[in-house]
């Protein structure tokens, strides 16, 4: 039996209760802040009774335990379902592929090998069968290739000479090649996607023996080389020569990311036993020829998801006081693990690997070790035994994995770091950097775990959700409405060095930190949503976390281009800083509107513009002269965009991007329809994830064409899109204001009071919501008729009342039905910004509610005055005053509060100081007169521990006053000033 201990519960306050009793409640607050307890002082030494008290999490463990089927030995549940007997002659193998990589090796004898290659690139697909067996599949015979336009005098007879010349040059550049670089050349008829080409022209498809030779081949063409019989050959750009090899394979074989593949009986060969040598730890290892892999499109029955095993883990290490743990010194003392089958609600493995004895925990398999080396080795074996498909945790890429690897290294454990599915492949942490305009720069680490997906929940949160803080604590409070029970790192060592009970306490914390990432992933349905994104865009699952937005569009573009014999050039990016004009923002008629304001929106504006006007690389013509040269006639064959760019009409050639967008939007419509009919919650989740992925994908096509630091920028597309958009908004405004007039028999003259990019806000003059809705619907229909299909203006909602503060800043009650408003909506103002302190957002939010919902401006004023009084009397809890900002760069020209603080913190303890990309929290403390804000910023914990006085004047004058004035002024006029003078 699993060791059962009756939960030893000492009654005590929960952490939240303790916090609540110590915090001050000067601010009656909106929902979000109620979930967040006030900042509490962290104890840094001396264990108290409370430290031995078990947490309420034990109740959760007990619940999980009660659902567990008892087993003799907890390790018995680790292994996967046994592999059924397979007869390769009779049984097909069907699995969901989740990861793919490639390597170079000798091609086995039984594989068809027409070029008699020795060593060649081999693809390796990893996956899981519906029965839950893990699979590694070696795919042979697929050669990487690039295209170049055939040189003018190229003739098929020159092929051997051409290959020899390339080989001579490539092997001289790269020595260690075992065999020649170029395997074969095909002469094919294709055309470039980049600019309209009326005819296909000859291209050379050059097959490379090793995938890794692609950059060398590309470079060779760029630099030029001599071909006997042809002369000097220099070609730039080459085509399709910058795509990752596994993706190339998937595109050509029509395999979508995370989709199902089938290996027919008789077509594959099993490894192990008397067969080929096994190289992986997967249950089933097979070889197959590339053309024999059958790809199933992820639709209908093939939308299902295999019973993937998800391991969530967390480690604790024993640090020294005030110093961040250092793997060369500080031991790993506990590792907690939870293993769940995707789609099931309960982890079937819950265990802790602990250093030194530890009291039992209900429903938890405890493994205690005397030596750290034993602990680490046992955990490594546990990974192989459980054989997880997905490994999750919080900051596992940034901390847990690197720490474990460094620690194993420090202890000279030679057999620890083999955590992937390929035998002999050592797991290492490699520094990586990711930087983009949207997400800034961030350093992280890449961990190779061949065949196992990694989902670092921290990274997922940072990518997908804009939050004020990304600590596990803050994220759980936000999404799960519950707190992680925080153990300050300085007491971890004390707990470890205490007794069985204190170590038990620590283990419970550790377990909960392993459980929470799983809860988050489940709640946000990350696995399903990411899989659907991989399926929709066709990229391998792990690209979604390790790469940017562009690869997803590239994958779709390549797939569509291939169908039409179009080739994609590998442009050298020269990082131009040239910008193009974006969307229009209509000058707002600022003010407080106590009449309904109807909002009309263009649905999927940019995608619909690209579809309506056939904007694409393949329909683009550089200039009029070129168009005339091709005998094209304006209007009949092409149109000139408001940006003065030329694109063909769809009647002459339908663009690829419009086709991709139509497919995406049609697929979304299908998914949404299916969703309406579906009742099974699991299938519903899949469909919902799909429609979301389809929408996001459609919207990112425009951004891709405008990405000047990108794979295939064509600003003619992006700037024409925005130009059309600007024209449309202007026209919409004009249309509405001209049609809805007293002169035309309407009650009032309509007025467009604001509009941004794809929307206009209309005051029809009517005083009730129902009439505004009716007119809004009528206007949307009328305007839509003025545009080309599929452009569509939609009536979406009414704001009433509506407070229009400035461009991109407004608030109002949001109505979609005339009976009752749906919610209060705020855009751009302090309530939705992460860089204002919580005091400001809650005060503004509460004032807005009083003004908009209660229509009680006086109440709002009194409330604001009350808060100001509390602030000046120091009655506001510290947590309300924390300001946070992202540390966006390592060098700043101007001094910045958050950066100056980060630097000071680095001097105190480099390990725990904020890193590039992290959000830095700070409080403005009292300083000498005239001190700049950056001199007065301090770490909230430091302020609390050292009882440093707060600069309340700063919070009043620099944080509260202006936002308050901005919302009160449109209502009270200059009277608003009196608010602050008392």
**Interface with DNA in residues 481-540 (CB under 7 A):** none
For the bound state, the minimum distance from the C-beta of residue 399 to DNA, rounded and expressed in Å, comes to: 22
Q: Measured from the CB atom, is 210 or 584 closer to DNA? A: 584
- Give me the 265-304 binding string for DNA, x by CB under 7 A, dash otherwise: ----------------------------------------
CB 315 within 8 A of CB 326: no
Q: Measured from the CB atom, is 433 or 673 closer to DNA? A: 433
Question: How many helices (H) and strands (E) would you count in the chain?
Answer: 30, 35
Q: Which stretch binds DNA (CB under 7 A): 292-300, 488-496, 611-619, 710-718?
A: 710-718
Q: Which of 152, 466, 677, 929 binds DNA (CB under 7 A)?
A: 466
Q: Indicate the burial class of 524 (C-beta count within 10 angstroms; 0-12, 13-18, 19 or more).
A: middle
DSSP 8-state symbol, 631: T
Q: Indicate the burial class of 171 (C-beta count within 10 angstroms; 0-12, 13-18, 19 or more).
A: middle
CB 106 within 8 A of CB 279: no
Residues 6+ apart with CB under 8 A from 155: none
Q: Which stretch of DSSP H or E encloses residue 547?
A: none
Q: Which of 14, 433, 497, 626 binds DNA (CB under 7 A)?
A: 433
Q: Measured from the CB atom, is 114 or 973 closer to DNA? A: 973
For the bound state, the minimum distance from the C-beta of residue 495 to DNA, rounded and expressed in Å, comes to: 34
DSSP symbols for 100-138:
EEEEEEEPPTTS--TT--SEEEEEEEEEEETTS-EEEEE
Q: Which of 103, 302, 324, 580 binds DNA (CB under 7 A)?
A: 580
Q: Measured from the CB atom, is 411 or 598 closer to DNA? A: 598
Q: Measured from the CB atom, is 226 or 430 closer to DNA? A: 430
For the bound state, the minimum distance from the C-beta of residue 162 to DNA, rounded and expressed in Å, comes to: 23
Closest CA to 415 of 387, 367, 383, 368: 383
β-strand pairing of 201-208 with 182-192: antiparallel
Is 581 among the residues that bind DNA (CB under 7 A)?
yes
Q: Please report which residue ranges of 678-714 form alpha helices under DSSP H.
A: 681-705
Residues 6+ apart with CB under 8 A from 798: 596, 597, 598, 599, 769, 772, 773, 776, 814, 815, 816
For the bound state, the minimum distance from the C-beta of residue 805 to DNA, rounded and expressed in Å, comes to: 6
Q: Which stretch binds DNA (CB under 7 A): 105-113, 152-160, 583-591, 867-875?
A: 583-591
For the bound state, the minimum distance from the C-beta of residue 828 to DNA, rounded and expressed in Å, comes to: 4
β-strand pairing of 440-447 with 566-567: unpaired
Report long-range pairs for 287-290 (Cβ below 8 Å, ≥24 apart). 287/108, 287/110, 287/111, 287/137, 287/138, 287/140, 288/137, 288/138, 288/139, 288/140, 288/263, 289/111, 289/112, 289/139, 289/140, 289/141, 290/123, 290/139, 290/140, 290/141, 290/142, 290/249, 290/253
Three-class DSSP category at 235: coil
Q: Measured from the CB atom, is 612 or 956 closer to DNA? A: 956
For the bound state, the minimum distance from the C-beta of residue 795 to DNA, rounded and expressed in Å, comes to: 15
Q: Which stretch of DSSP H or E encloses residue 223?
A: helix 214-223
Q: Measured from the CB atom, is 757 or 846 closer to DNA? A: 757
Q: Measured from the CB atom, is 435 or 777 closer to DNA? A: 435
Using omega within 30 degrees of 0 as the cis cutoff, is the peptide bond preceding 801 cis? yes
Size of the site for DNA (CB under 7 A): 79
Q: Which stretch binds DNA (CB under 7 A): 17-25, 37-45, 384-392, 694-702?
A: 694-702
Which parts of 857-916 interact with DNA (CB under 7 A)?
884-889, 892-899
For the bound state, the minimum distance from the C-beta of residue 721 to DNA, rounded and expressed in Å, comes to: 10
For the bound state, the minimum distance from the C-beta of residue 592 to DNA, rounded and expressed in Å, comes to: 15
Is 436 among the residues that bind DNA (CB under 7 A)?
yes
Q: Quote the CA–CA distance of 80 and 201 in Å, as a whole number.
A: 54
Is 463 among the residues that bind DNA (CB under 7 A)?
no
In sequence order, what are the beta bridge partners of 638?
634, 648
Q: Which of 96, 397, 550, 952 binds DNA (CB under 7 A)?
A: 550
Q: Which of 465, 808, 817, 908 binds DNA (CB under 7 A)?
A: 808
Q: Which of 230, 585, 652, 976 binds DNA (CB under 7 A)?
A: 585
For the bound state, the minimum distance from the C-beta of residue 564 to DNA, rounded and expressed in Å, comes to: 23
Q: Which stretch binds DNA (CB under 7 A): 71-79, 251-259, 363-371, 709-717?
A: 709-717
- Give me the 596-635 binding string for DNA, x by CB under 7 A, dash otherwise: -----x---x------------------------------
For the bound state, the minimum distance from the C-beta of residue 739 to DNA, rounded and expressed in Å, comes to: 23
Which parts of 141-170 interact with DNA (CB under 7 A)?
none
Q: Indicate the burial class of 175 (C-beta count within 10 angstroms; 0-12, 13-18, 19 or more).
A: exposed
Closest CA to 205 of 228, 189, 225: 189
Q: Measured from the CB atom, is 366 or 878 closer to DNA? A: 878
Q: Measured from the CB atom, is 307 or 588 closer to DNA? A: 588
Angle at 344 between CA 338 and CA 345, to 5 degrees: 70
Closest CA to 148 of 570, 443, 447, 666: 570
For the bound state, the minimum distance from the C-beta of residue 204 to DNA, rounded and expressed in Å, comes to: 21
Three-class DSSP category at 376: helix
Q: Which of 134, 169, 180, 700 binds DNA (CB under 7 A)?
A: 700
Closest CA to 397 of 310, 336, 455: 455
Which parts of 823-852 interact with DNA (CB under 7 A)?
826-828, 832-835
Which parts of 223-242 interact with DNA (CB under 7 A)?
242
Q: Quote the CA–CA distance of 612 and 588 in Å, as a whole number.
A: 29
Q: Which stretch binds DNA (CB under 7 A): 48-56, 142-150, 559-567, 820-828?
A: 820-828
DSSP symbols for 753-793:
EEEETTEEEEE-S-SSHHHHHHHHHHHHHHHHHTS-TT--E
For the bound state, the minimum distance from the C-beta of residue 760 to DNA, rounded and expressed in Å, comes to: 10
DSSP 8-state symbol, 400: I
For the bound state, the minimum distance from the C-beta of residue 560 to DNA, rounded and expressed in Å, comes to: 19
Is 932 among the residues that bind DNA (CB under 7 A)?
yes
Which parts of 353-382 interact with DNA (CB under 7 A)?
none
β-strand pairing of 119-129 with 284-289: unpaired
Q: Which stretch binds DNA (CB under 7 A): 328-336, 384-392, 548-556, 684-692?
A: 548-556
In sequence order, what are the beta bridge partners of 659?
none
Which parts of 722-781 interact with DNA (CB under 7 A)?
722, 756-759
Is 551 among the residues that bind DNA (CB under 7 A)?
yes
Q: Measured from the CB atom, is 438 or 743 closer to DNA? A: 438
Q: Indicate the burial class of 42 (C-beta count within 10 angstroms; 0-12, 13-18, 19 or more).
A: middle
Q: Which stretch binds DNA (CB under 7 A): 96-104, 154-162, 706-714, 903-911?
A: 706-714
Q: Which of 400, 919, 923, 951 binds DNA (CB under 7 A)?
A: 919
Q: Which stretch of DSSP H or E encloses residue 865?
A: helix 857-872
Q: Quote the CA–CA distance of 385 and 75 in Å, as a whole number.
A: 9
Q: Measured from the CB atom, is 422 or 728 closer to DNA? A: 728
């Amino acid at each position: 039996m699993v060791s059962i201990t009756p939960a030893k519960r000492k009654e005590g306050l929960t952490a939240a209760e303790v916090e609540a009793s110590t915090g001050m409640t000067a601010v009656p607050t909106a929902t979000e802040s109620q979930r967040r307890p006030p900042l509490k002082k962290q104890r840094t030494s001396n264990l108290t009774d409370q430290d031995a008290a078990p947490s309420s999490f034990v109740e959760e463990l007990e619940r999980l335990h009660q659902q567990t089927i008892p087993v003799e030995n907890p390790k018995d549940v680790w292994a996967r379902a046994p592999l059924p007997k397979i007869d390769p002659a009779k049984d097909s193998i069907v699995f969901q592929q989740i990861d793919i990589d490639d390597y170079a090796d000798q091609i086995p004898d039984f594989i068809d090998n027409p070029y008699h290659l020795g060593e060649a690139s081999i693809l390796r697909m990893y996956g899981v069968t519906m029965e839950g067996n893990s699979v590694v599949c070696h795919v042979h015979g697929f050669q990487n290739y690039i295209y170049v336009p055939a040189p003018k005098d190229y003739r098929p007879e020159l092929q051997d000479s051409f290959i020899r010349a390339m080989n001579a040059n490539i092997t001289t550049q790269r020595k260690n090649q075992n065999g020649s670089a170029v395997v074969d050349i095909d002469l094919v008829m294709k055309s470039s996607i980049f600019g309209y080409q009326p005819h296909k022209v000859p291209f050379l498809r050059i097959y490379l023996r090793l995938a890794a030779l692609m950059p060398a081949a590309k470079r060779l063409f760029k630099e030029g080389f001599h071909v006997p019989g042809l002369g000097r050959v220099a070609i730039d750009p080459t085509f399709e020569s910058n795509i990752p090899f596994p993706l190339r394979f998937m595109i050509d074989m029509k395999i979508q990311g995370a989709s199902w593949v089938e290996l027919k009986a008789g077509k594959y060969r099993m490894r192990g036993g008397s067969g080929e040598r096994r190289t992986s730890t997967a249950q089933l290892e097979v070889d197959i020829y590339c053309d024999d892999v059958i790809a199933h499109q992820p639709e209908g029955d093939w939308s299902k998801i295999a019973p993937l095993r998800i391991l969530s883990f967390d480690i604790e290490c024993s640090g020294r006081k005030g110093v961040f743990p250092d793997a060369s010194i500080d031991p790993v003392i506990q590792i907690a693990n939870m293993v769940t089958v995707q789609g099931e609600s309960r982890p079937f493995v819950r265990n802790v690997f602990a250093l030194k004895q530890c009291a039992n925990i209900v429903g938890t398999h405890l493994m205690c070790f005397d030596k750290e080396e034993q602990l680490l080795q046992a955990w490594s074996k546990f990974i192989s035994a459980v054989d997880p498909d997905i490994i999750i945790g919080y900051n596992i890429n940034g901390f847990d994995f690197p720490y474990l690897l460094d620690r194993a290294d420090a202890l000279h454990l030679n057999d620890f770091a083999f955590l992937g599915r390929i035998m002999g492949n050592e797991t290492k942490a490699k520094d990586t950097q990711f930087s983009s305009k949207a997400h800034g720069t961030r350093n992280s680490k890449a961990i190779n775990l061949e065949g196992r997906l990694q989902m670092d929940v921290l990274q997922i949160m940072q990518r997908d959700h804009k939050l004020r803080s990304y600590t596990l604590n803050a994220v759980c409070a936000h999404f799960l409405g519950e707190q992680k029970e925080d153990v300050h790192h300085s007491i971890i060592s004390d707990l470890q060095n205490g007794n069985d009970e204190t170590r038990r306490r620590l283990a419970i914390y550790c377990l909960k930190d392993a459980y929470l990432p799983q809860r988050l992933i489940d709640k946000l349905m990350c696995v399903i949503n990411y899989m659907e994104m991989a399926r929709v865009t066709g990229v391998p699952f792990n690209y979604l976390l390790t790469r940017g937005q562009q690869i997803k569009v590239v994958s779709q573009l390549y797939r569509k281009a291939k169908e039409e014999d179009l080739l994609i050039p590998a442009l050298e990016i020269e990082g131009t800083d040239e910008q193009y004009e974006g969307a229009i923002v209509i000058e707002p008629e600022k003010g407080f509107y106590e009449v309904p304001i109807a909002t009309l929106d263009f649905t999927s504006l940019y995608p619909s513009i690209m579809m309506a006007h056939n904007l694409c690389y393949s329909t683009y013509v550089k200039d009029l002269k070129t168009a005339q040269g091709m005998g094209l006639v304006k209007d009949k064959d092409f149109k000139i965009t408001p940006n003065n760019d030329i694109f063909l009409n769809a009647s002459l050639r339908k663009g690829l991007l419009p086709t991709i967008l139509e497919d995406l939007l049609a697929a979304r419509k299908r998914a949404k329809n299916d969703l309406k009919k579906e009742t099974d919650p699991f299938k519903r989740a899949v469909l919902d994830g799909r429609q979301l992925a389809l929408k996001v994908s459609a919207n990112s096509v425009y951004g891709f064409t405008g990405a000047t630091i990108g794979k295939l920028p064509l600003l003619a597309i992006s700037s024409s899109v925005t130009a059309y958009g600007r024209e449309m908004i202007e026209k919409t405004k004009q249309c509405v204001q001209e049609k809805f007039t007293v002169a035309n028999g309407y009650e009032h003259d309509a007025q467009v009071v604001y509009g941004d990019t794809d929307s206009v806000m209309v005051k029809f003059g009517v005083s009730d919501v129902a009439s505004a809705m009716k007119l809004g619907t009528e206007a949307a229909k009328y305007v839509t008729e003025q545009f080309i299909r599929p452009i569509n203006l939609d009536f979406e909602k009414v704001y009433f009342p509506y407070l229009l503060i400035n461009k991109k800043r407004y608030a109002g009650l949001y109505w979609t039905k005339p009976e009752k408003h749906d919610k209060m909506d705020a855009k751009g103002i302090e309530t939705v910004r992460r860089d204002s302190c919580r005091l400001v957002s809650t005060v503004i939010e509460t004032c807005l509610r009083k003004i908009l919902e209660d229509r009680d401006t006086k109440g709002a004023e009194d409330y604001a005055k009350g808060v100001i009084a509390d602030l000046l009397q120091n009655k506001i809890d510290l947590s309300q005053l924390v300001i946070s900002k992202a540390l966006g760069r390592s060098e700043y020209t101007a001094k910045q509060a958050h950066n100056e603080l980060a630097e000071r913190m680095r001097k105190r303890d480099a390990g725990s100081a904020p890193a590039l990309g992290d959000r830095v929290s700070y409080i403005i403390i009292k300083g000498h007169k005239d001190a700049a804000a950056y001199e007065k910023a301090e770490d909230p914990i430091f302020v609390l521990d050292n009882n440093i006085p707060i600069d309340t004047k700063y919070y009043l004058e620099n944080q509260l006053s202006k936002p308050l004035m901005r919302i009160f002024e449109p209502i009270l006029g200059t009277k608003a000033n009196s608010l602050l003078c008392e």
